[in-house]
């Protein structure tokens, strides 16, 4: 049976520990006990961990040999902020699919109250990504960058930049990805209502390549998940 993976809250040498909510979940929900083994992410390595002590506040491990960490997917998302419940669902699912990083963007069509509240939600988004990383056996969570305006977001460097655009009629994502693609790559997904015309021009001026996911009009979270899944399938 595949061992569950946890990202250590504390570690040094051959010891590690989970604390807080992670320890509480392991102790109370999964009823962990000394002697059980899990994969433990300790910094840049994943090691076999054996529980030595369990309380609802702290679960301690001894660490043994390294285990396979899994491949890193060099695909990031530039994701315009939309309704928080669906945005958080997109973060969770994109994390499970192996996204390298997520850059939340305040677009012209982002609701004003969402734009104002976004900075205070960033830590919650990181917790969601951490939990999804452990569930999906990632060796590290994706980086969730601080929310920023589109003009500032476009200054972040990526080798290949693809804008998922519902108005694009000539180039499908699958056709673009069937050519030679250099990594790392970023996929841009717009807000509800799509990107404003001046935003599309700003993308074009910064060498983003538009691509379509097909004729259907997708919700933002659906486009993010579908685009990432397609790119991962074709490139890895």
CATH number of 75-235: 3.40.1280.10
Q: What is the pTM of this model?
A: 0.86
- Same fold across 5-66 and 75-235: no
Summarised one tens digit per residue, pLDDT across range 138-163 is 988 999 999 999 999 998 889 999 99
Domain boundaries in the chain? 5-66, 75-235
Averaged pLDDT score across all residues of the chain: 93
Handedness of CA 84, 88, 89, 93 (dihedral sign): positive
Domain 5-66 in CATH: superfamily?
Answer: Hypothetical PUA domain-like; domain 1 (2.40.240.20)
Q: What pLDDT was estimated at residue 1?
A: 61
Return the structure tokens found at 57: 């506040």
pLDDT digits (tens, 9 = 90+) for 174-212: 999 988 889 999 999 999 888 999 999 999 999 999 999
pLDDT level of residue 42 (50, 70, 90 thresholds): very high
The answer to whether 236 and 71 are in contact (CB under 8 A) is yes
Please report the pLDDT score of residue 14 as a whole number. Answer: 95
pLDDT score recorded for residue 166: 82
pLDDT digits (tens, 9 = 90+) for 105-144: 999 999 999 999 999 999 999 999 999 999 898 988 999 9
**pLDDT at residue 46 greater than cutoff 90:** yes
Give the confidence band of 73 by pLDDT, cuts at 50, 70, 90.
confident
Beta bridge partners of residue 45, listed in sequence order: 42
């Amino acid at each position: 049976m595949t061992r569950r993976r946890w990202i250590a809250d504390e570690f040094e040498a051959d010891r590690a520990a989970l604390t807080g909510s992670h320890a509480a979940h392991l102790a109370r929900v999964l009823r962990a006990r000394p002697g059980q083994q899990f994969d433990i992410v300790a910094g840049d390595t994943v090691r076999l961990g054996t529980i030595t002590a369990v309380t609802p506040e702290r679960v301690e491990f001894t660490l043994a040999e390294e285990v396979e960490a899994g491949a890193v997917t060099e695909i990031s998302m530039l994701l315009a902020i939309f309704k928080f419940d669906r945005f958080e669902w997109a973060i969770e699912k994109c994390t499970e699919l192996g996204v390298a990083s997520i850059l939340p963007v305040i677009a012209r069509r982002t609701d004003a109250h969402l734009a104002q509240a976004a900075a205070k939600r960033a830590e919650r988004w990181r917790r969601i990504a951490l939990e999804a990383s452990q569930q999906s056996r990632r060796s590290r969570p994706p980086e969730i960058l601080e929310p920023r305006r589109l003009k500032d977001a476009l200054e972040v460097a990526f080798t290949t930049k693809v804008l998922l655009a519902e108005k694009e009629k000539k180039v499908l994502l699958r056709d673009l990805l069937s050519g030679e693609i250099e990594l790392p790559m970023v996929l841009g997904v717009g807000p509800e209502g799509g990107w404003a015309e001046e935003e599309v021009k700003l993308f074009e001026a910064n060498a983003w390549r538009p691509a379509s996911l097909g004729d259907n009009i997708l919700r933002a979270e659906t486009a993010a998940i579908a685009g990432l899944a397609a790119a991962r399938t074709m490139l890895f």
